[in-house]
Amino acid sequence: MPLSDRYKRMYPVSWEQLHRDSKALAWRLSELPDIKGLIAITRGGMFPAAVIARELDIRLIDTLCVVSYDWQQQRDKAGLLKGLAQETDGRGWILVDDLVDTGKTARFVRELLPEAHFATVYAKPEGRPVVDTFITEVSQDTWILQPWDAETQFVQPIAKLRSVPQQG
């Protein structure tokens, strides 16, 4: 099923909101003991991971490059494009992603790093049980429109969109 059929609502996120929410996630993660580093799940986890790394003064960051969907189509299963620089079960590492939706990508990554602490900024009900820490829950039928997927543009005033001409 195309992803566009699954989503009935849109939740647009600005850069400022994503920064605020990522910083709030860093506050929650600051209580974790013995953090070795961060693993950003590309591409969505890169911005939150950068904010978290700054806030927690973490310099060791790796990426796990996973592909599971795009706006048009969900894949049958997640695929690994690039693994980690070093082998680990994840102990002491924080996995960071922007969101967990159905949990398919999250479960795939959990199999690779079962001991990692999984943190996302946004979580939907189907995927929420797979992550350890998140900031905001969003309904399952909502597409989270991240700032890197949107641009600001002019929108016609409501009066101009009406089918009945305005009397002047």
Catalytic residue of the set 62, 89, 98, 149? 98
The β-bridge partners of 142 are: 9
The DSSP call for residue 140 is T
Q: Which helix (H) or strand (E) holds 79?
A: strand 74-82
Cα Rg, the chain, nearest whole Å: 18
Q: Which helix (H) or strand (E) holds 104?
A: helix 104-112
Catalytic residue of the set 101, 132, 141, 149? 101
Catalytic residue of the set 34, 57, 76, 97? 97
Please confirm, yes or no, whether 97 is among the known catalytic residues: yes
The β-bridge partners of 95 are: 39, 118
Q: Which residues are catalytic?
A: 97-98, 101
